[in-house]
Amino acid sequence: YDYDGPSMKTSVPGPRSQALTKQLGEIQNNLPFKPEMDSVTLVRSTSSVTMRRAEGTTWWTWTTTACWMSTLRSRPSQLSTLVNRPALGILPPENFPDKLTESLLSVSPSGMTRVQTMACGSCSNENAYKAMFIWYRNKERGHNMPSDEDVSTCMINKAPGCPDLSILSFNGGFHGRTMGCLATTHSKAIHKLDVPSFDWPMAPFPRLQYPLEEFTRENAQEEARCLEETEDVIVKWRQKGNPVAGIVIEPIQAEGGDNHASPDFFKGLRNIARKHGCAFHVDEVQTGGGATGKYWAHEHWGMDDPADIVSFSKKLLTGGYYHKDELQADKPYRIFNTWMGDPSKNLLLAEVLNVIRRENLLEEVTRSGKALLNGLYDLQAQYPGILSRARGQGTFCAIDICDDATRNSILLKARDKGVLLGGCGDRSIRFRPALIFKEYHVHIFLNIFNDVLAEH
């Protein structure tokens, strides 16, 4: 194959990057802006997973979406979708149902035929929570006619109109940063500090030992403990008058450090939700879209009825959530906003799905994911003082570093060799390659990563 790995043209940050950083810093909060990130052009060819930057440097990135849609260039008829921004809730364009069918509905999770588009992961989850609250209250009432008291109290933020209901979430979970989502996020203090929150319960997410196959007994015990505590928390919150309307969980806790759990754990949780009358919401904002080797990470659980709600965003380019019929709001304008997503993103998604199918990218991901994880196992055996807990599903992989300082030094050294990696949790490095990341890319990467580790 032709070499399409990283190629460095300047030291980092280059002069152009520095100038642009300064320019942007004068305009807005650019603190998270990384100095090397001066220009993004995602390059999509049959053999490239790179970004070209202003200085002529070719970077490797691990965080891009599936692929670049060069085909759109040649379809000026679709331009009107890109330049118009309709209010989808009331003015959907004529091709909107067709595009939905071609894109989101062609990959619906098991048991779900309805999808509500939204604009980002946060409004997807916020609205999914609202759908669960509405469903729960109508279930409590036995009908969907609010009382006069409901109507008058809700206008002043008081119960029963704005009821004392909660969403149960998990330690280490991340579900977004708007205030409803943030009350279910428990990954980093920096996200939550100084922002008022709700009195909603948090249950422990299993802390497993890896490789999973080697610790089945210990891990099963840990999962049983977490399930038991979850049930206790549900009972406790009901007793204190703030019942759990819904449970939200990620199939793999991403921001929180790539924490995995077994299909049995999720099956157990699904049953607990059913037993206590809570809706079950699987947040696939990070895991959905193919990186685990299946379109949805929850498909690995092998369940016919995995969830009541599945939310998505990121790799799917548009946000939204699938839901079972019961979770449909009973009246217009209860689940609503101005844009309700953006149809131009459905167009892009339909194209991405075509590429995924045509090029068998999910099989590709499974294959390169296996190569990546095996490579990480080898490196972990070679550098036991630095690396531990290699884990992953598909190319959705991570590994722990001995301490935070070493992690940062590894991230910087990799960057200087043209590979952009990110951290998650307290001391993990996460791998999130594009879906077109192939087995030979894995080997290029492992060589570079080995060089970086050898310097420590």
Site for ligand FES in 139-178 (CB under 6 A): 178
Q: Of the residues 4, 258, 283, 342, which is catalytic?
A: 283
Query: How far is Cα 39 from Cα 297, in angstroms, rounded to an integer?
Result: 32
Amino acid identity, position 368? S
Residue 380 CB partners (closer than 8 Å, separation 6+): 387, 388, 390, 399
Instruction: Give which of a copy of itself, ligand FES, none residue 68 binds (C-beta under 5 to 8 Å, depending on kind).
Output: a copy of itself
C-alpha angle 199/200/203, rounded to 5°? 135
Question: Cβ neighbours of residue 241 under 8 Å, at least 6 residues apart?
Answer: 164
Cα 50 to Cα 56: distance, rounded to the nearest angstrom: 12
> Using the rule CB under 6 A, which residue among 12, 54, 69, 119 binds ligand FES?
119
User: For residues 270 and 284, what is the distance between their CA atoms, to the nearest angstrom?
Assistant: 16
- Partner in contact with 105, chosen from a copy of itself, ligand FES, none, beta carbon below 5 to 8 Å by kind: a copy of itself
Of residues 19 and 381, the one with the C-beta less far from a copy of itself: 19
Residues 407 and 389: their CA atoms lie apart, in Å, by 14
Interface size with ligand FES, residues (CB under 6 A): 5
**CA 216 to mean position of chain CA atoms:** 26
Polymer length in residues for the chain: 456
Question: 362 phi and psi, to 5 degrees?
Answer: -65, -40
Q: How far is the CB of 204 from a copy of itself (least distance, A)?
A: 12
Catalytic entry in 71, 275, 338, 378:
338
Active site residue 325: no
* Residue 448 binding ligand FES, by CB under 6 A: no
In whole angstroms, the minimum distance from the beta carbon of 120 to ligand FES comes to: 3
Using CA atoms, how far apart are residues 358 and 351, in angstroms rounded to an integer?
11
417 catalytically annotated:
no
Question: Of residues 12, 66, 120, 249, which one binds ligand FES by CB under 6 A?
Answer: 120
Catalytic residue at 170? no
In angstroms, the Cα distances linking 67 to 41, 281, 415 are: 11, 28, 22
The correct pick among 48, 116, 122, 253 for binding ligand FES (CB under 6 A) is 122
Phi/psi of residue 7, nearest 5 degrees: -150, 120
Nearer to a copy of itself, 210 or 308 (CB): 308
Place of tokens 């590894």: 410
Give min distance, CB of 309 to ligand FES, in A. Answer: 16
Answer yes or no: 404 catalytic: no
Residue 130 Cβ, how far from a copy of itself at the closest point, in Å? 5
Minimum CB distance to ligand FES smaller for 318 or for 428: 318
Shortest distance, CB of residue 455 to a copy of itself, whole angstroms?
A: 25
**Residues contributing to the site for ligand FES (CB under 6 A):** 119-120, 122-123, 178
Catalytic residue numbers read 174, 283, 314, 338
